[in-house]
Amino acid sequence: VYLQESGPGLVKPSETLALSCSVSGDSIDGGGYYWTWVRQLPGKGLEWIGSIHSVGSIHYNPSLKSRVALSQDIAGNQFSLNLTSVTEADSALYYCTRVDAVTGAHHFDPWGQGTLVTVSS
Amino acid sequence: DIQMTQSPTSLSASVGDRVTITCRPSQNIYKYLNWYHHRPGKAPQLLIFSSSSLHTGVSSRFRGSGSGTEFTLTIDSLQPEDFATYYCQQAYTTPWTFGQGTRVEIK
């Protein structure tokens, strides 16, 4: 299974950050996983952003919930992240990953290589 | 949110050493605890899930243990590729949260 993030590396303050994650080797409508975004802020640890399941359930981190929207393109086998009203504090390395939704272990595997997003005018 | 506290935040060790990292969640998470390692420029990789289960393909020199509010990751006989940052993650409830990381450096 392979995940690959894509999107602009530079976003202006107050605009919307839009990223996509292309999945190969698995089908996002298979039902066994949450398709997930995580970010790493500079010099900081990892922060879960949100997860989407093929049946339509979506979970967001409350700290970002008012600005985040996840969606999925079943035909294209990819899922997307929109983060609105970005500030420099949203500059980070953004990862997409797959989270087990069946066993309850909720482990994140595998991960994409990550895409660096800088918010700057 | 469940806060995850790792210790130490960094350590220096030599190839062949045994290393232990501790993770303490702010509340009982039973055995819902996963470990990852992360090398710069690479994707994070799952090592251990459900506190002590070794992920497929991961070396048996990695061992996880613990439950409730204290967990440990032990690396037996540290190898050059093990120098990285290690994160714990609670899988008990959303928002899923990670520890701040433990950086393992070469002495």
Average model confidence (pLDDT) across chain A: 95
User: Is B100 within 8 Å of chain A by CB?
Assistant: yes
Among partner residues B43, B55, B95, which is closest to A62 by beta-carbon distance?
A: B95
Asked if A109 is an interface residue toward chain B (Cβ–Cβ < 8 A), one would say yes
**Best residue of B1, B86, B98, B103 to probe chain A, by most A CBs closer than 10 Å:** B98
Shortest alpha-carbon distance between residue B16 and chain A (Å)? 27
- Please tell me the distance from the alpha carbon of residue A50 to that of residue A36, in angstroms, as a whole number: 6
Is A108 within 8 Å of B89 when comparing Cβ atoms?
yes
pLDDT above 80 for B99:
yes
Mean pLDDT along residues A26-44: 92
Tokens of A110: 């595998």
Q: Is A39 helix (H, G, I), strand (E, B) or coil?
A: strand
Q: Does B3 touch chain A (CB under 8 A)?
A: no
Angle at A22 between CA A37 and CA A98, to 5 degrees: 40
Per-residue confidence band for A80, with pLDDT thresholds at 50, 70 and 90: very high
Q: CA-CA distance, A86 to B41, in Å (whole number)?
A: 24
C-alpha–C-alpha distance, residues A106 and A32, integer Å = 11
Residues 42-61 of B with CB under 8 A from A: 42-46, 49-50, 53, 55
Report the residue from A59, A104, A112 with minimal CB separation from B43. A112
Distance from CA of B77 to the nearest CA of A (A): 25
Token pair 């530079």 in the structure block, residue:
A10
Please state whether beta strands A10-11 and A115-119 pair in parallel, antiparallel, or not at all (unpaired): parallel
Tens digits of per-residue pLDDT, B16-70?
999 999 999 999 999 999 999 999 889 999 999 999 999 999 999 999 999 999 9
Interface touch B98/A59, C-beta < 8 Å: no
Tell if the CB–CB gap between A48 and B91 is shorter than 8 Å. no
Residue predicted with more confidence, A105 or A14: A14
Q: Please provide the distance, in angstroms rounded to a whole number, between the alpha carbons at the two ends of chain A.
A: 36
Task: Provide the pLDDT for residue B10.
Answer: 97
